[in-house]
Amino acid sequence: MQSRFRSDRRLTVRMTVTLFLLGLLYVAFVAALIVLLKSWVLVVVIAGGMLGAQYWFSDRIALFAMRGRVVEREEYPELHAVVDRLCAIADMPKPVVAVSQMDMPNAFATGRNPDNAVVCVTTGLLRRLEPAELEGVLAHELSHVAHKDVAVITIASFLGVIAGLIVRFAFYSQLFGGGRRDQNTAVVFAAVMAVSAAVYAISFLLIRALSRYRELAADRAAALLTGRPSALASALTKVTGDIARIPTKDLRTAQAFNAFYFTPALGAEPGLARIFSTHPSLEQRLEQLGRISTELGETALPGKAD
């Protein structure tokens, strides 16, 4: 079913190209592992099983990792009311609504399609945002579901996860068991580690490029759906500033899911993390929302910046 979120052809093209390139990389990766490990059954079963698990259970994995739980209307009536209203406007199925008991102000969407999606917000976000700001954030997350880019990111991140796990396994296996192996085995392990590291690096860059654009696309779609780009800009400014004040040690658990968040869990001085961020800079996002606000002839919220 087509939602009323503004379609984005450039996002569709980027998702298609990214999946195609990652598909080629995935095939090459599996082929290289089969040649090196000389067991195609083992490689295919493990890779296929993990891909299936990530595709079918990504929503549950994300909720568990971020301490989120599904909430009913009786517990959070205002939150459900906003989601209901946005889904009615967008003409899309209502996702499962969840809340994470975290002080970090953030939100994310996950799921393999609009009929099997979850939108989760943290208690820190609910406590900090005004109703119009919360509506903008939720519209942003729902646009990820409607455009299906959340499913693409879930699938795309799988290859990097597998490659990263293999690199760690090979490293620790060599570190703690190198003395018990012959030279041929050591060469195979080194080759597997090198191939996995290369695959991880390539998939990392491809996913970052897609992720940054999809965040701008979601901001644009949410602003046009709600007609209140200034409210979304205000939420972005508030959330980004508050996250920067949260101790870095409290953000580490959340950083593995940065690609799914409304804003990345970066500290006050992210350094190189900013260069390889899953999101465009706050300045880029605010600049785009400012242009949309001008196009719509919107009056900014009192005391808020576009």
Q: Mean pLDDT in the chain?
A: 81
Predicted local confidence at residue 169, as pLDDT: 65
202 falls in which pLDDT band (50, 70, 90)?
confident
Q: Which residue is associated with the tokens 């860059």?
A: 205
Query: Using alpha carbons only, what angle is made at residue 285 by residues 130 and 275, rounded to the nearest 5 degrees?
Result: 120
Instruction: Give yes or no for residue 306 having a pLDDT over 50.
Output: no
Give the rounded percent of residues in the chain with a pLDDT score beyond 90: 36
Is 141 annotated as catalytic? yes
Over residues 63-92, mean pLDDT: 92
Cα separation, 143 vs 67, whole angstroms: 23
Over residues 70-98, mean pLDDT: 95
Instruction: Give yes or no for residue 301 having a pLDDT over 50.
Output: no
Q: What is the pLDDT of residues 122-176, one digit of tens each?
A: 999 999 999 999 999 999 999 999 998 888 887 777 666 666 666 666 566 555 5
The pTM assigned to this predicted structure is 0.80
SS3 66: coil
Cα separation, 266 vs 273, whole angstroms: 8
Instruction: Give yes or no for residue 9 having a pLDDT over 60.
Output: yes
Higher pLDDT, 274 or 210: 210
Task: Given the residues 74, 75, 135, 141, select the one marked as catalytic.
Answer: 141
Predicted local confidence at residue 71, as pLDDT: 95
Predicted local confidence at residue 272, as pLDDT: 58
Helix (H) / strand (E) containing 108: strand 107-113
Q: What is the pLDDT of residues 222-274, one digit of tens each?
A: 999 999 999 999 999 999 988 877 766 666 667 767 778 898 877 655 555 56
- With a CB cutoff of 8 Å and minimum separation 6, the contacts of 86 are 135, 138, 139, 142, 225, 226
Over residues 82-109, mean pLDDT: 94
> Is residue 215 marked as binding?
yes
- With a CB cutoff of 8 Å and minimum separation 6, the contacts of 70 are 63, 96, 97, 98, 118
Predicted local confidence at residue 144, as pLDDT: 94
